[in-house]
């Protein structure tokens, strides 16, 4: 079956602009996670959604970052007024009982 998909695969934007990153999780997975990975660094947790519960936003680095998950499926991560330090690969993952499946990521470059 289809895995986790993300779009766009690459995004180049100018400092100060807003961006939206999309994640389509595996059908039926109730847990969805966003991470980011800066060049040469480990994965940094951002936010996760579990069913209809309030999302855990504890990893969001600033109030410029927000995410929503519509209908318990597709999720959108929004970064407002992007800064150069936001440049990273943004990874989405969804979870079955035992495994967490990652998407290919969106590479964001802020000029």
Partner 1 sequence: DAKTTQPTSMDCAEGRAANLPCNHSTISGNEYVYWYRQIHSQGPQYIIHGLKNNETNEMASLIITEDRKSSTLILPHATLRDTAVYYCIVRSVSGNTPIVFGKGTRLSVIA
Least distance between partner 1 and beta carbon 105 (Å):
5
What is the maximal distance between C-alpha atoms in the chain?
Answer: 40
Which of 14/98 has CB closer to partner 1? Answer: 98
Q: Shortest approach of partner 1 to residue 110 CB, angstroms?
A: 19
How far is 29 from 93, CA to CA, in rounded Å?
A: 10
Residues of this chain that interact with partner 1 (CB under 8 A) are 4, 31, 33, 35, 42-43, 45, 48, 50, 56, 59, 91, 93, 95, 97-105
User: Min. distance of Cβ 19 from partner 1 in angstroms?
Assistant: 19
As given in the structure block, the two tokens for residue 48 are: 């996760």
List the one residue out of 83, 66, 63, 86 whose CA is nearest residue 75: 66
């Amino acid at each position: 079956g289809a895995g986790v998909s993300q779009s766009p695969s690459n995004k180049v934007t100018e400092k100060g602009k807003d961006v939206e990153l999309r994640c389509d999780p595996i059908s039926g997975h109730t847990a969805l996670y966003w991470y980011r990975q800066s060049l040469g660094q480990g994965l940094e947790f951002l936010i996760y959604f579990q069913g209809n519960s309030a999302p855990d936003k504890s990893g969001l680095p600033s109030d410029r970052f927000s995410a929503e998950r519509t209908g318990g499926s597709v999720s959108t991560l929004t970064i407002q007024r992007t800064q150069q330090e936001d440049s990273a690969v943004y990874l989405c993952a969804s979870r079955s009982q035992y495994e967490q499946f990652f998407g290919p990521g969106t590479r964001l470059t802020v000029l």
